[in-house]
């Protein structure tokens, strides 16, 4: 692949996606991951818990950050190396969450870059629900970091 087809990235670049979480989403995620903890899936049990109603799985919310990195920034062809996610507020069925990722630094290796990215998820009210520090491997045949 020649340089014209490489994706050019700059420190400070950012991208985002938005998702509305439904009860159906939560049920499908619980089935796929085998995490059917009633705090997510059982209204009666969760009513007795700290949040008083079902909450979306934290890793489901945090995965939005990974989705941004894999599809938008840096994008297709990258590999997640590390993701340290903090879940700071609950997400409930019906909430809409926007995940935003920002490229904060890169380290150049002979065949690839290691990108450091910051991720944040906020709900429809602008309240932060998750934050993450991430590292992503970017092959030089797909990417070029400018500046």
For 5-44, how does the pLDDT look when each residue is reduced to its tens digit (9 = 90+)? 899 999 999 999 999 999 999 999 999 999 988 889 888 8
- 66 vs 80: CA distance, rounded Å: 8
> How do residues 97-112 score in pLDDT, each as one tens digit?
999 999 999 999 999 9
Query: Could you tell me the residue range of the domain that residue 113 belongs to?
Result: 3-146
Distance (Å, rounded) from C-alpha 114 to C-alpha 74? 11
Beta bridge partners of 97: 19, 123
When divided into structural domains, the chain yields a total of: 1
Predicted confidence (pLDDT) at residue 49 exceeds the cutoff of 90: no
Mean pLDDT of 140-145: 95
Q: pTM of the entire structure?
A: 0.90
The CATH number given to whatever domain includes residue 76 is 3.10.129.10
85, 67 contact by CB (below 8 A):
no
pLDDT tens-digit series, residues 58-67: 999 999 999 9
pLDDT in the model for residue 33:
95
């Amino acid at each position: 692949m020649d340089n014209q087809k490489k994706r050019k990235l700059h420190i400070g670049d950012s991208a985002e996606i938005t998702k509305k979480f439904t009860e159906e989403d939560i049920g499908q995620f619980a089935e796929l991951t085998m995490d059917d903890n009633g705090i997510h899936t059982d209204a009666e049990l969760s009513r007795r818990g700290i949040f008083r109603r079902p909450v979306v799985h934290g890793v489901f919310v945090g995965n939005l950050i990974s989705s941004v990195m894999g599809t938008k920034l840096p994008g297709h062809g990258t590999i997640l190396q590390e993701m340290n996610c903090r879940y700071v507020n609950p997400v409930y069925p019906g909430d809409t969450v926007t995940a935003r990722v920002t490229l904060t630094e890169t380290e150049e290796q002979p065949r690839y870059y290691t990108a450091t990215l910051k991720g944040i998820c906020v709900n429809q009210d602008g309240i932060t629900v998750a934050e993450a520090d991430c590292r992503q491997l970017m092959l030089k045949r797909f990417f070029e970091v400018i500046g």
